[in-house]
Amino acid sequence: MPTWVLHTEFKFDAAHFIDGYDGKCGRMHGHTYKVHIKAKSHKLNPSKYLKTPDMVCDFKELKWAASDSKKGGLDHSVLNEEIPVATTAERIAEYIHKETKNRIPADIDLHVTVWETETSWVEYTDQDV
């Protein structure tokens, strides 16, 4: 069976605090988040930008979170004001995954990795691994 796997990485800067956290992460602070997205498909699709079925999905749709917060992304935002879940790395990855799935064809297997620091990251998918 033919299989295509897209990979893309991007960064965004944001502030956040973890509400209820007993420690310094409970106070407002910032990170340069690095995100890796892997999108796997067994067929090619059209996109919002290309009407013919010649791509898994558009890289633009995978990188939406890198856009400025005033343009619908997460860059230079206070995450607590932008996302409806706790701002742990786990929930940020889950949120990016969910929002990205809403922008791409339904049959794409998506994996999102979010680095909060160079040595701390989380991976999220809605599939069994």
CATH classification at residue 106: 3.30.479.10
Domain count, the chain: 1
How, if at all, do strands 4-16 and 120-125 pair? unpaired
Within 10 angstroms of residue 21's Cβ, the number of other Cβ atoms is 13
Say if residue 129's pLDDT is above 90. no
Model confidence pLDDT, tens digit, residues 24-69 = 999 999 999 999 999 999 999 999 999 999 999 999 999 999 999 9
Domain that holds residue 78: 4-125
CB 27 within 8 A of CB 65: no
What percentage of the chain reaches a pLDDT higher than 70? Answer: 100
**Rounded distance between C-alpha atoms, residue 67 and residue 44, angstroms:** 25
**Rounded distance between C-alpha atoms, residue 40 and residue 7, angstroms:** 9
For residue 128, give both structure tokens: 């069994």
Amino acid at 48: K
What's this model's pTM, rounded to 2 decimal places? 0.96
Say if residue 128's pLDDT is above 90. no
What's the mean pLDDT in 93-99?
A: 98
